[in-house]
Amino acid sequence: MDESGSRIRRRVSFRKRNRSRPGSVFASTTAEVKPGNDEEEEVVSGSRRRKTVDVQPVEHIDNSEEDMFGDYDGFTENSFLAQVDDLEQKYMQLPEHGKHATNLASEYLSLESIKSNKLCTTVDSFTELKTDENTKNQGGHEDVAIEPGADLLYDVPSSQLLFFEHLQNSSDDLGDKPTKEKEFPCNHIQQPQQNDETASKIRTSPDANRRKSLKDHLKSAMTGNAKAQTPVFSRIKQLQEALVSEEINVAKKTLESSSDDLGPFYSLPSKVRDLYAQFKGIEKLYEWQHTCLTLSSVKERKNLIYSLPTSGGKTLVAEILLLQELLCRRKDVLMILPYVAIVQEKISGLSSFGIELGFFVEEYAGSKGRFPPIKRREKKSLYIATIEKGHSLVNSLIETGRISNLGLVVVDELHMIGEGSRGAILEMTLAKILYTSKTTQIIGMSATLNNVEDLQEFLQAEYYTSQFRPVELKEYLKINDTIYEVDSKAENGITFSRLLNYKYSDTLKKMDPDHLVALVTEVIPNYSCLVFCPTKKNCENVAEMICNFLSKEYVKHKEKEKYEVLKNLKNISGGNLCPILKHTVLFGVAYHHSGLTSDERKLLEEAYSSGVLCLFTCTSTLAAGVNLPARRVILRAPYVAKEFLKRNQYKQMIGRAGRAGIDSIGESILILQEKDKQQVLELISSPLENCYSHLIQEFTKGIQTLFLSLIGLKIATNLNDIYHFMSGTFFGVQQKILLKEKSLWEITVESLTYLAEKGLLQKDTISKSKGEFQHSFHITKLGRASFKGSIDLAYCDILYRDLKKGLEGLILESLLHLIYLTTPYDMVSQCNPDWMIYFRQFSQLSPAEQNVAALVGVSESFIGKKASGQAIKKKVDKDIVNRLYLSFVLYALLKETNVWSVSEKFNMPRGYIQNLLTGAASFSLCVLHFCEELEEFWVYRALFVELTKKLTYCVKAELIPLMEVTGVLEGRAKQLYSAGYKSLKHLANANPEVLIRTIDHLSRRQAKQIVSSAKMLLNEKAEALQEEVEELLRLPSDVPGIVASSIENA
């Protein structure tokens, strides 16, 4: 070889390595070499055979590269390399063997690659050696082609695979040069086949005088392998990636070219489309969905607001956009939903997608969620949160400098930004995202938006709307026994439709003056129906009344399934069953409101969705909650409680009419009295209500909380910056409408002064040039504790005082004192104690528990006088008395873990008691975070961790691991535990088909969702532990020795 040929000099640091002794590598190999036989040679080793046809010696290439291994050839006394070299020399000395020396060595190496999987790169590296143009021109050799063994690279170390890919890429890059290169297809990994016999055909040039030592080739291959970086993933994953379909290969190349397009389904792989067909039965998108997803504003990642009628398919668009963010752009996503039940429903629906597509789905609702969330390097996370938890999550991401990792925020029911304190919290969340992260996209959706221009200005967003509904909706009004159709073209907005012909007895007329029985029997039992009632009590009364006048034929419809529902209702309630439901469920009817427990609601919703129940009498909360559509929706009256119906509420209720894929039409009927006719006519023709910022109206939960967090997070710390931030809020956009007496500047100054006076902020004065001064603020310890704990600022000083007083004589003989400290302040005002029950419970307290009552300031004599109706001269704080009463309810619930018995004992609705428990669990977590920021309350920290867990689940300890799974409530957890599924691992590895057979009243869809959610939770926990281990083992960047040495090197 010409010495002027290109040479690559590598310098590699090395150390001695221990290798297993390969001394017997060739010992078991027998070879019969037949001189002069050019046709075929056969080498046998055990049961494996290799055939090599017409192998010619390869030209010798002088490699002046530095010997990486130096004197370390002898890894063992009888070095494998030395043996190969000796064997090679032995046969080269014989003229008749020289001809076949190369193919014999190749045979040995092929055998060894199968036996040990350690040297499979030898032949490849041997044949993949490349020379420069001068060398190739001098040699004039033929191209060499090799067909590798099918399983040649099956268990190759990942570093070697990476080396092959590098060589192949290099050859691809040089493909256009005018050189005659040798081609070696063996570096393309083929699917492993179960075949013990493999043929390798090698053609080389006949020049036998110039060949490279096999030992040198081995060294060269091992040098390359040592220098190749080992990927962090496993060999199996390497092989899987190498064997993916042509579509995924194209997607990968596109991704490398800085494109977000990963495939044919709206930039996503076709697997996503297949999963939607498999899990949700969606095979084709509506035309408006396609239009929305292909908008230029969406492609350019601009913020977007879109509005469609209820049941139009808004959620699917949001899901596709969030999958693009997770899979294509590799960013985390936050989805904000209004209620806990909807969060849990969405978690169950998307967990299966997460498992299939490789991302985490994390729940942030109630007392669930980690702040800040676990930082993951590989997989991305979809955070599904309530409004309050979403705000806390965003705060924690800003504080840890990770807000830019949040690629997309999706807000469902965006119109809620104009509803009370929850609207103020949602506004704060979005304003902070807009101010701190320019790369985070915001998508908002709603069915009931009017003043979109204000929201567009606030969110800097594009707007898309459509009136599409998958099922036509017809609106009707009923006055007496006449039904009118709503017609916007008519003079007064309605036209006559028909008269009701149902034959009513005198008794029925008295019991059902609104003809509800006639209206519902037109659709049930073959179709479903919802009857919205003004109050919870009215729901129960209407359900019973309807069933009293239904014929026995209705009982026979799906009779067996109805008895199964009753049996399950009894089981999940510890043997208790509501007498109203016991009567109505047999007719396919049930009431649905917040007075039901979570278990009861979930079971009844499942029965309704499967068609076992055909009629719900419900309150307006169902319209904004889980998706339960019906053929006909009836509004019992144009009122919600005592307030007249709003246009937004009306649209949400009637939006439940018409089930896509089931019904061809949906109907809504609003029943009204003659006195309400004019108001109702205005209602059906009026536009939707505007939504306005509540940042100022909700003073302690709004603007004050916002300012405290802005300064605590160091988003804005001086008056000018805070005013600038406020100008960019939804309130800032609407300030001309909302502010009549004071300016935004005045309100900002007043709020900051109030916070400083309350001891939550401290003012600093910074001197500027020319005698000017600028005021900046920093947060106090109490302010930080309030902000971190998400405590309503109206109660933060009371909480501090209660905790401080508790330290003076904390009573831990029972849980009562701790429960009192975590009983939510905002539920106290709703409490009206039954004084006889209060006195009875008080008299049953132990001496230690009576000490708790005395410590907080409630005496037995006071309760006794209230119970007997005596006048009380001594003034006692009503809020403390009521709070202690609620503490008694929670204390009884934790001791008995039976909502029904506690409900009976305190004469309270079981749903209210469960809501109290949920509120206490959330507030307990808030108090825990509050105490973590104040050193003086260190003693509470461990206590509140355990108490929060008890309040969250309120079950026996063995059921808690099962109830961690989204959608598994107490009743279902008991069923699973009894069936042998006693841990998260059991559920994650369960077979859905076996679950269906084992667990009563469990649908296939629910079984799959439970298993998917369990797998997701198990993966999250495992990943969190792995991240923790890696963090512990990671070398700190500020280790003194390393820092010093790096400075010296520099």
Nearest alpha carbon to residue 902 among 892, 912, 911, 894: 892
Going by the DSSP 8-state scheme, the letter that residue 350 receives in this structure is H
CB 69 within 8 A of CB 136: no
Using alpha carbons, list the distances in angstroms from residue 704 to 327, 425, 697, 749, 760: 39, 11, 11, 11, 10
pLDDT at residue number 261: 60
Q: State which amino acid sits at residue 866.
A: K
The pLDDT confidence band at residue 492, using thresholds 50, 70 and 90, is confident
- Distance from C-alpha of 916 to C-alpha of 816, rounded to nearest angstrom: 15
Q: State which amino acid sits at residue 682.
A: E
pLDDT at residue number 25: 39
pLDDT at residue number 510: 87
What's the pLDDT tens digit per position in 590-645?
A: 999 989 998 899 899 989 998 999 999 999 888 877 788 899 999 999 999 889 99
> If you average pLDDT over residues 773-785, what whole number do you get?
88
What's the pLDDT tens digit per position in 325-374?
A: 999 999 999 999 999 889 988 998 999 999 999 999 999 998 888 889 98
Q: How many CA atoms lie within 13 A of 1039 on its CB side?
A: 8
pLDDT at residue number 41: 39
Environment class of residue 633 by beta-carbon count within 10 Å: exposed (0-12), middle (13-18) or buried (19+)?
Answer: buried
> If you average pLDDT over residues 229-236, what whole number do you get?
49
- Distance from C-alpha of 625 to C-alpha of 980, rounded to nearest angstrom: 33
The pLDDT confidence band at residue 679, using thresholds 50, 70 and 90, is very high
CB crowding 838-852: b at 16 or more within 10 Å, else e = bbebbeebeeebbbb
> If you average pLDDT over residues 649-660, what whole number do you get?
88
The pLDDT confidence band at residue 1031, using thresholds 50, 70 and 90, is confident
Name 382's bridge partners. Answer: 333, 361
pLDDT at residue number 999: 87
- Distance from C-alpha of 728 to C-alpha of 458, rounded to nearest angstrom: 7
- For 791, residues 6+ apart whose C-beta sits below 8 A from its C-beta are 785, 799, 926, 927, 930
Going by the DSSP 8-state scheme, the letter that residue 740 receives in this structure is S
pLDDT at residue number 239: 52
Using alpha carbons, list the distances in angstroms from residue 769 to 470, 681, 763, 766, 772: 66, 65, 19, 10, 6
Q: Which two tokens stand for residue 75?
A: 């890894």
Nearest alpha carbon to residue 419 among 694, 722, 11: 694
pLDDT at residue number 544: 95
Nearest alpha carbon to residue 587 among 623, 541, 556: 556
What is the rounded average pLDDT for all residues in the chain?
79
- Distance from C-alpha of 20 to C-alpha of 76, rounded to nearest angstrom: 8
Residue 1022 has pLDDT above 60, yes or no: yes
CB 789 within 8 A of CB 924: no
- Distance from C-alpha of 238 to C-alpha of 873, rounded to nearest angstrom: 81
Tokens 């419900």 found at: 618
CB crowding 943-975: b at 16 or more within 10 Å, else e = bbeebbbbbbbbbeeebebbbbbbbbbbbbbbb
> If you average pLDDT over residues 944-950, what whole number do you get?
92
Residue 7 has pLDDT above 80, yes or no: no
> If you average pLDDT over residues 1006-1022, what whole number do you get?
90
The pLDDT confidence band at residue 933, using thresholds 50, 70 and 90, is very high
Residue 1050 has pLDDT above 70, yes or no: no
pTM of the model: 0.73
Using alpha carbons, list the distances in angstroms from residue 526 to 207, 529, 554, 630: 87, 10, 10, 11
pLDDT at residue number 575: 86
CB 668 within 8 A of CB 397: no
pLDDT at residue number 1006: 85
The pLDDT confidence band at residue 662, using thresholds 50, 70 and 90, is confident
Residue 770 has pLDDT above 70, yes or no: no
Nearest alpha carbon to residue 276 among 316, 244, 315, 310: 316
Going by the DSSP 8-state scheme, the letter that residue 718 receives in this structure is B
CB 910 within 8 A of CB 890: no
What's the pLDDT tens digit per position in 400-430?
A: 999 999 999 999 999 999 988 999 999 999 9
Q: Which two tokens stand for residue 839?
A: 């006195």
- Distance from C-alpha of 734 to C-alpha of 454, rounded to nearest angstrom: 7
Name 479's bridge partners. Answer: 482, 672
Q: What is the dihedral of CA 781, 784, 785, 788, to 10 degrees?
A: -160
Residue 815 has pLDDT above 50, yes or no: yes
> If you average pLDDT over residues 909-929, what whole number do you get?
93
Q: What is the dihedral of CA 841, 842, 845, 851, to 10 degrees?
A: 150
CB 725 within 8 A of CB 703: no
Residue 229 has pLDDT above 80, yes or no: no
Q: For a pLDDT cut of 90, what percent of the chain falls above it?
A: 50
Residue 60 has pLDDT above 60, yes or no: no
Going by the DSSP 8-state scheme, the letter that residue 756 receives in this structure is H
Environment class of residue 607 by beta-carbon count within 10 Å: exposed (0-12), middle (13-18) or buried (19+)?
Answer: buried
Nearest alpha carbon to residue 481 among 466, 495, 501, 462: 501
- Distance from C-alpha of 369 to C-alpha of 340, rounded to nearest angstrom: 13
Selected residue with higher pLDDT from 441 and 1000:
441
Instruction: Convert 112-136 into a string of H (helix), E (strand) and C (coil).
Output: HHHHHCCCCHHHHHHHCCCCCHHHH
> Max CA-CA distance within the chain?
125
Which element (helix H / strand E) includes 483? strand 482-486
The dihedral region occupied by 483, where left means phi > 0, alpha psi between -120 and 50, and beta the remainder, is beta
CB atoms within 10 A of CB 141: 18
> If you average pLDDT over residues 664-669, what whole number do you get?
92
- Indicate the pairing of strand 494-499 with strand 482-486: antiparallel
Preceding omega of 525 cis (within 30 degrees of 0):
yes
Tokens 């009923």 found at: 478
Tokens 């790169």 found at: 121
pLDDT at residue number 1048: 58
Residue 303 has pLDDT above 50, yes or no: yes
What's the pLDDT tens digit per position in 704-761?
A: 999 999 999 999 999 999 999 999 999 999 999 998 888 999 999 999 999 999 999 9
**Phi and psi torsions of 860, nearest 5°:** -65, -35
pLDDT at residue number 508: 84
Which DSSP string do the residues of 228-257 spell out, in sequence order? Answer: SPPPSS-HHHHHHHHT--HHHHHHHHHHHT
> If you average pLDDT over residues 366-395, what whole number do you get?
91
Residue 474 has pLDDT above 70, yes or no: yes
Q: In this predicted structure, which of 234-238, 599-603, 786-790, 906-910 has the lowest mean pLDDT?
A: 234-238
- Distance from C-alpha of 252 to C-alpha of 247, rounded to nearest angstrom: 9
Residue 179 has pLDDT above 70, yes or no: no
